[in-house]
Amino acid sequence: MEIQALPPALQRPFQPPLSLGFPFKPYFLTPTKHAPWHSTNNSFVLYSRFLHAVKFRRSFATVTATTGEAVIDDSDTTNNERGFVNIGYISSVHGIQGEIRVKPATDFPRLRFSTPGRRWLKSKVLGGESVQEVELEEGREHPALKSWILKFRGIDTVEQAKMLIGATLLVTDEDRPELEEGEFYTHDLIGMRVFMKENGKLVGTVVNVFNSGANDLLQIVLDSSFDMLDKSGKSRSAEDASDQLVLVPFVEAIVPDVDMKKREMHITPPKGLLELNLRFDERSKKERRQLEWKERKKFQKHLIAAKKKLIEMEQKHVFHGFQYGEKDQWSLLSDQIVGVNSKLLQEALQSLEQPAKRWKVAELVSAIEAKLINSIQIPEEYFLNGSENKFFRDMQEKGAELMSKGKMAIVFLLNEEERQGSISDSNMIENEAIDTSVLHMFQKVKDRVSVPLILVSSAQKIHSLRNLFRSNNYFAFDSEKVWFLEEEKLPVVSSLPEGQNKYKILMKSPWEILQSPVGSGGLISLFSKHSIVDNLIDMGVEYIEFCCPSERTAGGNSLLFGLINSREAKIGIQISPKITDLEENFDMIFSMDFVKKLTKQSNKLQFDAIPKAHSFVEKVDKEWVTVTSSTPNSYELSCSIHDSLNACSLDKVCIVEVTE
């Protein structure tokens, strides 16, 4: 069938209202596998972010599954005889032969985009939706752009192809690939009734599935007939228990039976599992609605403030995506806009125009030779076999004593190790050998129950990391003294200023800001954002160790701690001739008063503009165009915590040099 180009009057993109309230966040899930149950201490693992009571309301035309393929309920449209699966969206035109470029939203891209046959396009038309059939002739992957280039029958010119930009590409629900035994599509699990295996009592209904990294989690809305106990062991009323959500790990030991024909499953949860992640809300429904409304208003207030700040920075193009896409995409853009640390971004861009001194290993060595910095040398074998040197023993014992009194906190920047492919790789939770490495690393820290611990990782790993700690009883650390923080990120900017000192924020898609991790210097911003300093001071902490854990650096450097305390220094650094880049396996200790000073003078930290080649999208003449380059066309803004030396007198710095 040949697609007729829409008349100009129907080409206007749908403009969503920005007063939709609190954004909806979908969870895009791959086909769910019924995994075996893994645990080191027979405990169960749950996300703290979901441990609250939620009222579940089902709506039409909502995305109910994710990174795999999103199933769309079209029950109130003209296509009610079939359901559709979202497999991607058309982002731009490719070439002059009517080809289009598609951003995938499927785990089966080769099947979906290279196999000829029928597909469907869903477009916005005058505020409504239009679904039309198309014929895919051929498709090929463009790995550099993480997209696919497709050719539809009847679309032979650039003008025809332009009419399809922004449309969602669909296949029918019945066209989903067959899964292996023990695997299930998320959409098929949603709506299934859940029963207790031991007595056949109805627990509730599955309303969502989340991926935790270790295994999937079923989100179940409780039935009003299911008896629940509060913290005191008393039964709650049916009104209290009904419509509340609990999470259940989708593992064979807990969910042994899944009957797809009867649309039901049986569970054998450990004692206390359901009660653990269920919180009864003593407030009335009216009070809860008022609280939800306040949260929505609070988010809207933050969104308006963030947009105002970006407009002041002449970054209005970031908002163009609000004119396109679905509700979840507008929500994604809203979250990204609110999440931009505009103050840090301004400081980073300003530092590019006013560069300060950058500290490298050679500069530290030169400062030591010039006797500007106090230092001691220690052979590497000391860390393996110990030493008879009385000075070293005294410093180590002094540091260990202070740590046992809770005088030092440890900060692990785990994502630095992810880039080096070491202990914190993407399979950290699923690989038992990796778990053992992590366990061994944390066991090296002495007096862990007394040491506050801050773990900084990527957003993708933070929940798995939290679960890893819970399942290992926090590795003997005090759970009340452990923080899990998402690493600081900044937008990637164009390498050519739009005007004087004006760098343009680049967009990964119309709804996503292209971002990159700040680096170790971002730890200071995180401390300020989360009020970590005040909390640590209240605990009696006087020093903080910042490190990137490895085989050589595992945290709890009692020798360096004892040295910096004895010499009343502000900064202590351990360096090794094996480390040519200070960002690799860094180990530094700061006094608490110096950290507090840095949080108020973050402009002392210097940023690097690292040239990189990035693909990005931009709006040109009301169309989204993908820009690619084989040469650097953008800057990633990076900062090193070693630049804190610019804010400290060098006579207040001491260094431990590890010699071979």
Indicate which CATH number applies to the domain containing 137: 2.40.30.60
Q: How many domains does the chain have?
A: 3
Do 494 and 589 belong together in one domain? yes
Looking at residue 439, what is its pLDDT?
Answer: 57
Are residues 548 and 446 part of one domain? Answer: yes
The C-alpha atoms of residue 476 and residue 73 are separated, in whole angstroms, by 47
Find, among 430, 637, 420, 409, the residue nearest to 518 by Cα: 637
The answer as to whether 321 is a domain residue is: no
pLDDT for residue 205:
93
**Whether 609 and 634 share a structural domain:** yes
User: CA 523, CA 254: separation in Å to the nearest integer?
Assistant: 39
Same domain as 522, residue 438: yes
Could you tell me if 130 and 268 lie in one domain?
no
Sheet holding 493-494, edge to edge: 493-494, 634-639, 607-612
User: What is the gyration radius of the CA atoms in the chain, in angstroms?
Assistant: 28
Whole-number pLDDT of residue 335: 93
Q: How far apart are CA 30 and CA 40, in angstroms?
A: 26
Condensed to tens digits (0 to 9), the pLDDT of residues 553-586 reads 667 888 899 999 999 999 999 887 666 666 667 8
Surface-to-core class of residue 141, CB atoms within 10 Å of its CB (0-12 exposed, 13-18 middle, 19+ buried):
middle
Task: Indicate the SS3 state at residue 463.
Answer: helix
Residue 216 structural domain: 186-228+241-275
In the listed set 125, 149, 172, which residue is the last one of a domain according to the structure? 172
Q: Beta partners for 120?
A: 133, 170
pLDDT in tens, 437-451: 555 667 678 778 899
270 found inside a domain: yes
Does one domain contain both 365 and 495? Answer: yes
> Is 21 inside a domain boundary?
no
Q: What pLDDT does 453 receive?
A: 93
Q: Assess whether 122 and 261 both reside in one domain.
A: no
Determine, yes or no, domain membership for 56.
Answer: no
Q: Establish if 456 belongs to a structural domain.
A: yes
Within-domain flag for 577 = yes
pLDDT of residue 501: 59
* Statement to judge: residues 651 and 519 lie in one domain: yes
What is the mean pLDDT of each successive set of 10 residues along the chain, which is 660 residues long? 34 33 34 48 33 28 37 41 78 90 86 92 75 93 83 93 89 77 79 92 88 74 74 51 76 90 92 69 74 90 95 92 85 93 89 70 77 82 67 88 92 61 35 46 78 88 79 84 92 78 87 92 89 91 87 77 92 78 78 91 79 90 86 91 86 85
**What is the spatial distance between Cα 199 and Cα 388, in angstroms, rounded to a whole number?**
67
Which among 252, 275, 298 is the end of a domain? 275
- Whether residue 615 lies inside any domain: the answer is yes
**Does residue 198 sit in the same domain as residue 100?**
no
Same domain? For 467 and 556 the reply is yes
Whether 161 maps to a domain, the answer reads yes
Regarding whether 592 and 559 lie in a shared domain, the answer is: yes
pLDDT in the model for residue 435: 44
DSSP, collapsed to helix, strand or coil, labels residue 544 as strand
CATH number at residue 200: 2.30.30.240
488 and 603 housed in the same domain: yes
Looking at residue 581, what is its pLDDT?
62
Residues 6+ apart with CB under 8 A from 148: 88, 101, 102, 104, 109, 113, 114, 139, 140, 141, 142
Q: What is the pLDDT of residue 557?
A: 87
